[in-house]
Amino acid sequence: MYTIIVSDDNTLDKTVIERIMCKSKLVNNLHFLVPLMYREIDMNGFTAVLEYRLPASGDYHSEILSV
């Protein structure tokens, strides 16, 4: 499980690090932890979307993240 904590100052801190390999089934989880109150905004009503581009092929992907 790869875990990233998002701080109020928009910094990203890696707390649990695991190698992420393209097309590998060994990656179990990618966690983004954001406080429920982020910069005085209640995050309960928001949906997170991860957008990324694969480094080798340049293919674009987006994934809706779930709780």
Q: Do residues 1 and 31 lie in contact, with contact meaning Cβ atoms separated by under 8 Å?
A: yes
Residue-wise pLDDT tens for the chain (67 aa)? 778 899 888 899 988 777 766 666 655 677 888 888 988 889 888 888 989 898 889 999 998 987 6
Domain span at residue 54 reads: 2-64
Number of domains in the chain: 1
> pTM for the whole thing?
0.63
CA-CA-CA-CA torsion sign (5, 10, 12, 13) = negative
Q: What 3-state class would DSSP assign to 35?
A: coil
| pLDDT value of position 27 | 55
